[in-house]
Amino acid sequence: MASALGLLFISCITLSVVYGNSQIDDVKKYPDPSPQTRGSPWPAPKQMTISETQLTVDQATFKFEFSETEVCSILEEAFVRYFKIIFGSYSTSLKFSSWKTLRSNIGSRSRYSGTVSALQVVSPCIDNIYPSLTSDESYTLEISEKGVATLKASEVWGALRGLETFSQLIYQDGLGTFVLNATSIEDAPRFQHRGLLLDTSRHFLSLDVLKENLDVMSQNKLNVFHWHIVDDQAFPYESSTFPDMSMKGAYNAFTHVYTQENVKEIIEYARLRGIRVIPEFDSPGHTMSWGKAIANLLTKCYSGGKPSGDVGPVNPAFNTTYTFLQNFFQEISTVFPDHYVHLGGDEVSFDCWKSNPDITAFMENMGYGKDYAKLEEYYMEKLLNIVSGLKKAYIIWQEVIDNGAKVAIDTVVEVWKPGYVEEMSRVTSLGYKTLLAAPWYLDYISIQDWPRYYMADPQNFNGTKAQKDLVMGGEACIWGEFVDGTNLLSRLWPRASAVAERLWSPASFNDTKLATPRIDEHRCRLVRRGYPAEPLNGPSFCGHEYVYHQ
């Protein structure tokens, strides 16, 4: 593996003398720009051999050819999408005078060994299916020395991943010719769950931004959109069963909501890119915005023997609470097709519960004494049973387990708190599937922090092989306090790309020095495709810079 990648680097460093913008003026830059790779895929494939044989791809004649007589919408739309991604019109960024210079500098195209006229895609293609935790995303991609290109996958999701890799192998030489090297790839993800959490409660995010982000996720082979859709601050989910929840709980009930139609649109957009949408409806804490519409759902806090006017977490002592949850999650389980729902369970403060006389009476009745963790456990178990009864599985934040609640065996526990190395060991020793999020809170910002994200490994804890196998993957999280449509995408990308390679590529990709030129190329690739991916590694430039007004 290492040697195959080694070849890639050597090959590309050699080529960089001849290709790309750097050959327009061959003067050494100061300080030396980081060694540029050309056509190096991100995240790195499991196995890749790149030959020095270079082939061209002709925009006028290139075709995606599909093995079956009927193509499903997933691949049909992907072919259209990837044609645009590969051959996007970039000519405006070079002036005429430069083309003349280029022609005289570069000379003829005779160095190229042939042309790739088509990519043969051999894959099943069934409509109306959704990606899942057990989807097979593996594929093989062969571009022979003679220019025969073949992509093979056993599920359509693997074909999508392979199309992305194919698009990344192609680069432009200084003359604008689309070029790729003969290449052989066998690829499959290291982890099944490679997620990204967006928070649409603290700040609302428009459908446009959510879709752009799904595009970039798929271009980083991330496959789970963890939609932290509501929280204390706002309830933008427009429920069909309880429309008052957004009417009263959204920042603006008309402009800052996701209608049923909007949610469907996002789920379909994600599905076409092989991305699961897992909604999070976090309770019993983080529910202030829920309580505006649902009477008696939240605990009334007391002060000096009287209601203070404040409310706290969901009230676990009332039966009406569970009737509501049954009806609400009944809806959620049909609106969101994924087998998993995220049920939260983090950061529950006991102060309000302690002050409330109904809760005190309930605690006595249940024999919980002063152990409010038992009350939380009681609530979570009731909730989890409701959701299990709806034939859904669930993901929960680590506190639920930390507090000792009994959960179903297919539960996924998400680890987010400091001390995560020990927690990963503990959670997997209890036999639970787990996801790591703790080292990847991208809402915390500092200069050049991506190497830290890159070097965090979800399986780097004390445990048996069986324990390590319980690690489903991880999630990059960008909580919404300080991001909205103005800065989300530029703050997220390509910092989240570091997490994406960690979760897709073999663990042996753990050298940030080797990764640096590759992530630089990847960020310029995203910029060229129209996304505002920010510079990570100091002074630099891209062949095609970001166009502010698209």
Closest CA to 223 of 248, 188, 254, 199: 188
Interface segment toward a second copy; rule CB under 8 A; list 134-142, 153-161, 351-359, 531-539: 531-539
Residue from 206, 296, 360, 460 touching a second copy (CB under 8 A): that is 206
Residue from 18, 148, 253, 455 touching a second copy (CB under 8 A): that is 253
> Is 243 one of the binding residues for a second copy (CB under 8 A)?
no
Residue from 221, 226, 292, 525 touching a second copy (CB under 8 A): that is 292
In angstroms, give the least distance from the CB of 210 to a second copy. 10
Closest CA to 228 of 33, 495, 414: 414
Per the structure block, which two tokens stand in for 476? 């990059």
**What separation in angstroms does the CA of 37 have from each of 84, 246, 440?**
22, 48, 26
Q: Are 388 and 411 in contact (CB under 8 A)?
A: no
In angstroms, give the least distance from the CB of 276 to a second copy. 24
> Is 548 one of the binding residues for a second copy (CB under 8 A)?
yes
φ/ψ of 506, rounded to 5, equals -55, 150
Q: Can you spell out the DSSP letters for 374-387?
A: HHHHHHHHHHHHHH
End-to-end Cα, the chain, rounded Å: 40
What residues between 405 and 464 interact with a second copy by CB under 8 A?
444-448
In angstroms, give the least distance from the CB of 26 to a second copy. 9
For a second copy, the closer CB: 298 or 500: 298
> Is 518 one of the binding residues for a second copy (CB under 8 A)?
no
Helix H or strand E encompassing 20: none
Residue from 3, 27, 134, 465 touching a second copy (CB under 8 A): that is 27
Closest CA to 275 of 462, 132, 481: 132
In angstroms, give the least distance from the CB of 289 to a second copy. 6
Return the exposure string of 2-33: e unless at least 16 CB atoms fall within 10 Å of the residue's CB, then b: eebbeebbebbeebbeebbbbbeeeeeeeeeb
> Is 484 one of the binding residues for a second copy (CB under 8 A)?
yes
In angstroms, give the least distance from the CB of 352 to a second copy. 13
> Is 538 one of the binding residues for a second copy (CB under 8 A)?
yes
In angstroms, give the least distance from the CB of 309 to a second copy. 10
Question: Which runs of consecutive H residues, i.e. helices, occur in 88-122?
Answer: 96-106
User: Is residue 59 helix, strand or coil?
Assistant: coil
Per the structure block, which two tokens stand in for 180? 């790729």
φ/ψ of 96, rounded to 5, equals -55, -45
> Is 143 one of the binding residues for a second copy (CB under 8 A)?
no
Within 8 A by CB and 6+ apart from 224, the residues are: 193, 194, 195, 196, 275, 276, 278, 475
User: Is residue 247 helix, strand or coil?
Assistant: helix
State how far the Cα of 193 lies from the Cα of 306, in Å rounded to an integer: 48
Residue from 491, 510, 512, 514 touching a second copy (CB under 8 A): that is 491
Is 280 designated active site?
Answer: no
For a second copy, the closer CB: 314 or 413: 314
What residues between 58 and 97 interact with a second copy by CB under 8 A?
93-95, 97
> Is 490 one of the binding residues for a second copy (CB under 8 A)?
yes
Binding mask 2-21 for a second copy (x = CB under 8 A): -------------------x
Identity of residue 276: R
> Is 297 one of the binding residues for a second copy (CB under 8 A)?
no
If one counts every other C-beta atom within 10 angstroms of the C-beta of residue 336, the result is 20
Q: Kindly name the residue from 68, 77, 347, 422 that is annotated as catalytic.
A: 347
For a second copy, the closer CB: 30 or 418: 30
Residue from 133, 234, 375, 396 touching a second copy (CB under 8 A): that is 234
> Is 153 one of the binding residues for a second copy (CB under 8 A)?
no
β partners of residue 178 = 57, 172
Residue from 268, 410, 481, 511 touching a second copy (CB under 8 A): that is 481
Q: Are 36 and 517 in contact (CB under 8 A)?
A: yes
Within 8 A by CB and 6+ apart from 491, the residues are: 442, 445, 478, 483, 534
In angstroms, give the least distance from the CB of 534 to a second copy. 4
Interface segment toward a second copy; rule CB under 8 A; list 261-269, 396-404, 434-442, 525-533: 525-533
Identity of residue 350: F
In angstroms, give the least distance from the CB of 443 to a second copy. 8
In angstroms, give the least distance from the CB of 79 to a second copy. 24
For a second copy, the closer CB: 85 or 116: 85
> Is 347 one of the binding residues for a second copy (CB under 8 A)?
no
Closest CA to 32 of 544, 431, 542, 540: 540
∠ CA 144-146-148, rounded to 5°: 55
Q: How many residues bind a second copy (CB under 8 A)?
A: 69
Q: Are 253 and 246 in contact (CB under 8 A)?
A: yes
Residue from 173, 212, 376, 475 touching a second copy (CB under 8 A): that is 212
> Is 468 one of the binding residues for a second copy (CB under 8 A)?
no
Q: Are 304 and 249 in contact (CB under 8 A)?
A: no
β partners of residue 181 = 54
For a second copy, the closer CB: 117 or 206: 206
Active site residues: 347
Residue numbers of the site for a second copy (CB under 8 A)? 21, 24-25, 27, 29-31, 93-95, 97-98, 101, 201-204, 206, 208-209, 212, 232-234, 247-256, 288-289, 292, 444-448, 480-487, 490-491, 527, 532-536, 538-541, 543, 545-550
